[in-house]
Amino acid sequence: MSVFPADPTRWLPHRPPFLLIDEVLEVNPGRSARATWRLRGDEWFFPGHFPGQPITPGVLLLESIAQCGAVAVLDDPRYAGKLPLFGGVEKARFRRPVVPGDFVTVECEMTRLSARGGRGVGRASVNGQLCVEAELLFVVTDRP
């Protein structure tokens, strides 16, 4: 039985500075997950993206959605000991910049899941305002 909020390293092999979710709020194994990511302002990417106007890179927001989706997959006993990897991104739309101080809610719902991979739909929002949405494709591999 999971107790929430939970540490994402319970499921994910990612570690700082590339762990891009702080807490897992909810998991429906093999179906969906919801997590948070607080941008404190001291993250490694802000000084260069962009000097004087820090904005979270869109690819990192997509990665945070993928990490959230990976939690949903890895909480399913069929995928214990596996590693979901990006297979593609489709229909990505960026609606609002994410800046230092933002508290991002990240969600991902699986729309297809098989032994070899799947597809999910994810979104990230701040205070209920949509920042990014995308369809993510992934393959499932064995962990080294």
Is residue 32 a contact partner of residue 109, using CB atoms and an 8 Å limit?
yes
| Residue-wise pLDDT tens digits, 14-52 | 999 999 999 999 999 999 999 999 999 999 999 999 999
Give me the catalytic one of 31, 49, 82, 119: 49
- Listing DSSP states for 8-31 in one string gives GGGT----TTS---SEEEEEETTT
pLDDT reported for residue 43: 97
49 is catalytic: yes
pTM metric for this prediction: 0.96
Q: Give the residue ranges of the chain where pLDDT is below 50.
A: none
Structure confidence at residue 1 (pLDDT): 55
Please give the share of the chain, as a percent, with pLDDT higher than 90: 95
Structural domains of the chain, with CATH: 8-142 (3.10.129.10)
Instruction: Give the span between the Cα atoms of 66 and 73, in whole angstroms.
Output: 10
Strand order in the sheet with 82-94: 23-28, 32-38, 103-113, 117-126, 129-142, 82-94
